Structure 1
């Protein structure tokens, strides 16, 4: 089994439709046309047969491990931290969606992936078996052009090899503390002003302002001034 590692691109956080945490995320496990640190290039369509077989039930879904299962020396190393819920090829590469397990290691990975000001885990990687490839014919070509790949596992990892395939979205709880941080950091409110917004709710604030609350009128004017001062 070989591996190809890719960076995160962007992390976003939102509750699901029911407002519950799903600890789910999506992105790209691999991209096409990019030479990785090992010298390989994945061609479009390389995953198509494997994905068709997975959806037909003749191939097993790849596991979701942490750091490729480490040294693969213990049961914990090889215990999945979640499941992949969708795999597909598009014009960019291998698009993946997954959900982390509500276990200590799953929650730990989720926490690391959503850290601020940057994620502590900032890569994804595929473990695969190359089924078909073309070797290079001269020194300035990729070492191999991979034409057909079977996936064994896909892992969140710390250190990437391929810098172009990335996680694009992470879903989870958006807490009151997150909202307060957003209001104070991005909207420029004080903590006391942020707590008014949180405690009263936006629609209630509008109604109270329109009903003649001078405190809220002053608050809205302060927000407008701060927003106008932000460079566009």
Structure 2
């Protein structure tokens, strides 16, 4: 405990009730001889605690007779800590102390305090910012801090040590049992260690209470040491419980949105792969999932601010039975990856395998690959203002989410996969990837596409997906009424499944004019984090006061091109 003594220009007793006095126990902004300065607000917490501050004669806290009264009022002013004290006139020492003060033979006030928080000022002094006020003493010598400070920076007396130890222990015991327990070896060990220290503290304190005495110096030290250990263990325990809660929350989230990184893998070592179902039944299922999460009874309202994460389940089938693919995403392979990743891209493919005579040198084939760094980018959009009641009264929320927000997201992603420039934040699309093949226009779109198929097959690739524009597909089908159909013995189209020469065709709205794309399905993959995030909010602009809400739908995607030679850009008309 520290002391600071203040010379007061007379402790005031005139005009007050018998036995009371007023004065300043501490002054603010005054640098003392050891470089301490008490700042305003230093006693704020202590004054709010409601504890009784004893009035002691000359800091003799070890002598019960020296407790001559108490502080009945205390407040901070611009000048310092103003107090009103009352002497206990029913005791000999209290009455004697009051007579000395009233007779102006004693003019000094001194505080006993404990430093909770301090800091170094620019001038090198120590600013005392938060103090525990333990006691106020009247002192015979009205000296200032500069005169007495070297004598008052002493170790705590036994009663003070007892008080400090009990106070720290009380704070610890008051929080016991507030930590939620989880059955793990780590938490059980920390709990056991903390409770052992608490048991030791309790036994020492209860023994002293039964004997109606303060803690001895040794007991106070034991309590303080045990309190420090228990407090440290309690902090570690709370951290451990928080870790367990975080894991539990993560597992719950994984259960609710699925585990796209591992689910369905044969060996558990590769990310899940399949096709992004953003059309047909897949889109409807996703829309229902988003709608259910938005209308969950655990949330206060549909438009409550907060994110909803919905898993995108990658499917093995290319398209629904009896229905041709509606999007290139239905047929392109997709996989779930981390936010940043890398993959190998083939740059050279030279096959020199040949028969070798006995003892002959075997030919070398060249299959050069390079490592390419990939990064998922956000594809997102926000709806216009939507009236709250229009949305809440609309029973077909599923249709709204699917036909508008999900369609827009899908179209934007298709455009990035085909045409992305590669300039951040855009993906580098297929048509802007170096190393892909090209097929010039030849006679008509049908002939050009057939020659592109030959190009892939001659390189050992398997044509698997053909992306064409609506105009080009129309032109191909209309060849049945032209000489072009006769030239190739009829148009080889399966209209039901939309196949051309056995290759799955997809009509795309994002292809440049007079361009089609043919590819081997193993040449690339659409990368995703496996989830779509939806946020409903009324916190944009003045939406809240006008009862509007907006929806934001977003996800993260990337594109990995493993074999550029397995992709052909086709000119479907003359330039």
Unaligned 5+ segments in structure 2 are 147-575
For residues 127 and 13 of structure 1, do their structure 2 counterparts lie closer, same or farther at Cα, with a shift above 3 Å needed? Answer: closer
Unaligned 5+ segments in structure 1 are 55-59, 164-232
Which residue in the other structure is 2:64 paired with? 75
- 1:64 partnered with 2:51: no
User: 1:40-189 residue pairs with structure 2 within 5 A?
Assistant: 40-54=36-50, 60-69=51-60, 72=62, 74-77=63-66, 80-102=67-89, 103-115=91-103, 119-135=104-120, 141-142=124-125, 144-159=126-141, 160-162=143-145
Which residue in the other structure is 2:8 paired with? 8
SS at match of 2:49: helix
Which residue in the other structure is 2:534 paired with? none
More helix by share: 2
In structure 1, C-alpha distance between the alignment counterparts of 2:140 and 2:93, rounded to whole Å: 15
SS at match of 2:97: helix
Q: TM-score, normalised by structure 1?
A: 0.57
**Larger Cα-atom Rg:** 2
For the 8 Å contact 1:4–1:126, the answer to whether it is kept is yes
Highest RCO, 1 vs 2 (Cα 8 Å, sep ≥ 6): 1
Q: Report deviation, 1:136.
A: 5.1
Q: Report deviation, 1:14.
A: 3.9
In structure 1, C-alpha distance between the alignment counterparts of 2:94 and 2:37, rounded to whole Å: 31
For residues 24 and 35 of structure 1, do their structure 2 counterparts lie closer, same or farther at Cα, with a shift above 3 Å needed? Answer: same
For residues 155 and 14 of structure 1, do their structure 2 counterparts lie closer, same or farther at Cα, with a shift above 3 Å needed? Answer: same
Stretch of structure 1 that moved more, 152-161 or 92-101: 152-161
Q: TM-score, normalised by structure 2?
A: 0.24
When the two chains are superposed, the root-mean-square deviation of aligned CA atoms in Å is 2.1
For residues 113 and 39 of structure 1, do their structure 2 counterparts lie closer, same or farther at Cα, with a shift above 3 Å needed? Answer: same
Q: Report deviation, 1:11.
A: 4.5
Which residue in the other structure is 2:32 paired with? 36
Aligned length, in residue pairs? 144
SS at match of 2:46: helix
SS at match of 1:34: coil
For residues 35 and 46 of structure 1, do their structure 2 counterparts lie closer, same or farther at Cα, with a shift above 3 Å needed? Answer: same
For the 8 Å contact 1:68–1:155, the answer to whether it is kept is yes
In structure 2, C-alpha distance between the alignment counterparts of 1:158 and 1:11, rounded to whole Å: 12
In structure 2, C-alpha distance between the alignment counterparts of 1:14 and 1:75, rounded to whole Å: 28
